[in-house]
A and B are shown apart, each in its own frame.
Chain A
Amino acid sequence: MLENPSSYVTFQDSTMDEWEFVSRMAEEADCGLLLDVNNVYVSSFNHDMDPDKFIRSLPHERIVQFHLAGHSNYTTHLIDTHDNHVIDPVWELYRTAHELTGGVSTLLEWDANIPPFPVLHDEVLKAKRFMGEYLPALPAAPAVPEEAEPVLAMAGTPGMPGMTGERAPHPLHHILPEVE
């Protein structure tokens, strides 16, 4: 899986636009794409490109994850700094990307000037609202025969499920519902 970068220069020797390069690279490598929506916006601003055209030109069937982030605006150029809220134009691109892909998972990147947890959590919930419009519901887990279910074998560990022969919980058991 390869991710589109944020960039700040273009070269006279370039022979194709970035979206064409990313698309051809993914096709040749037969790999998935991690679409960083903020990177599309940052590079498009810096290189006088149309970010909507960028996203619409990609092979959407290859996109397996989105990244969202904030950036720093220096008026003449943008820097991908992961230190702020996602701005509205990036949310709009994210909506478009969800429409085109049918919805894939999202990672919100915020790794500098990290705000209090409620602020960060609100940003995640905002992403989740967009996702809810397009992400298909998870299919129900198939029924597993009783005898095939795994049993934790941690004998000798007092208090552990293996002591009483309890079945191992499904991995999704550990994912708690989001606090709205």
Chain B
Amino acid sequence: MSESPRTLGTVQEWFQAVVTHPDGVEGGVQSEEAQALIRLPRGELEAVICRSRNLTASERIGIYANAYYAPPAGMRGRLLPAAQERPGRGTFSTASPSTTCSAIPRGATRWTTGRDFPPLPGRDPAGSGGRRTAARRGRLAGLPHRSGLAGVDARQGLRRSREPRARPC
């Protein structure tokens, strides 16, 4: 833990700008909005987010970024199957993140959270089996706003970060 001139408000606004960015964590960190709050060169994410013993800073903040888009998209498909069928799955799956989020009832924020959390490669929830993971990755593959990201391949789940392992803070 270090001393820094950054205020809590600045870190909170930066965090929101990063995890809600449609181009993923790296895109979010490099975005104009995030850089205006905290100027970070590429690969310097650990200047703000600590790594843990098991995960890099990018992987950790990626949990929030994935939670922001993947569950609402999955829920929308289950809650509005007609919308998915009529225009065709392709049309439905290209809906913007903001459209996806606006279609979800406010109360439906947690009930499918576990089902929709994309695991890191080779790290399935204990006892869940590979079939569930494959289905989850299949759903993620239908999310175009995630498929072109640096650091994320929607067909394979999260790629491992190239950040060097270092001591957690």
Q: Which positions in A face B, CB cutoff 8 Å?
A: 8-15, 46-48, 72-77, 79, 81-84, 111-113
Other than A10-B49, A79-B63, give 15 A-B pairs with Cβ distance below 8 A. Answer: A8-B60, A9-B63, A11-B11, A12-B1, A12-B50, A12-B169, A15-B1, A48-B52, A48-B53, A48-B168, A76-B120, A77-B52, A83-B114, A112-B110, A112-B111
Shortest B45–chain A CB gap in Å is 10
Q: Which secondary structure dominates chain A's binding surface?
A: loop
Q: Is the CB of B126 within 8 A of A9?
A: no
* Nearest-CB residue, chain A, relative to B61: A9
The answer, yes or no, to whether B162 is at the interface (CB within 8 Å) is no
Q: For the complex, what is the distance from the CA of A47 to the CA of B63, rounded to whole Å?
A: 14
Interface check B91, CB cutoff 8 A = no
Would you list the 3 A-B pairs with minimal beta carbon distance, nearest first? A81-B114, A76-B54, A83-B114
Q: Is B153 located at the chain interface by the 8 A CB criterion?
A: no
Per a CB cutoff under 8 Å, which of B46, B54, B111 touches A12? Answer: B46
- Cβ–Cβ < 8 Å partners of B150 in chain A: none
* Residues A11 and B126 in contact, CB atoms below 8 Å apart: no
Residues of B within 8 A of A81 (CB): 110, 113-114, 117
Highest count of chain A CB atoms <10 Å: which of B4, B114, B123: B114
Contacts of B115 in A (CB 8 A): 83, 112-113
Residues 114-130 of chain B, each 1 if its beta carbon lies under 8 Å from chain A, else 0: 11010110011110100
A73 to B117, CA, bound (A): 11
B37 partner residues in chain A, CB cutoff 8 A: none
9 A–B contacts from the bound complex (CB under 8 Å): A8-B63, A13-B1, A13-B4, A72-B125, A72-B128, A82-B110, A82-B114, A83-B113, A112-B115
CA distance A14 to B126 in the complex (A): 32
Q: Once bound together, how far apart are the Cα atoms of A17 and B138, in whole Å?
A: 39
Q: Which residues of chain A are within 8 angstroms of B111 by Cβ–Cβ distance? A: 111-112
A14–B169 CA distance with the chains assembled, in angstroms: 10
The A-contacting residues of B in range 50-93, CB under 8 angstroms, are 50, 52-55, 57, 59-61, 63-64
Contact (Cβ within 8 A) B52 A12? no
Contacts of A15 in B (CB 8 A): 1, 3
Judged by a CB distance under 8 angstroms, whether B135 is at the interface is no
Q: Are A10 and B54 in contact (CB under 8 A)?
A: no
Q: How far is the CA of A8 from the CA of B46 in the complex (A)?
A: 14
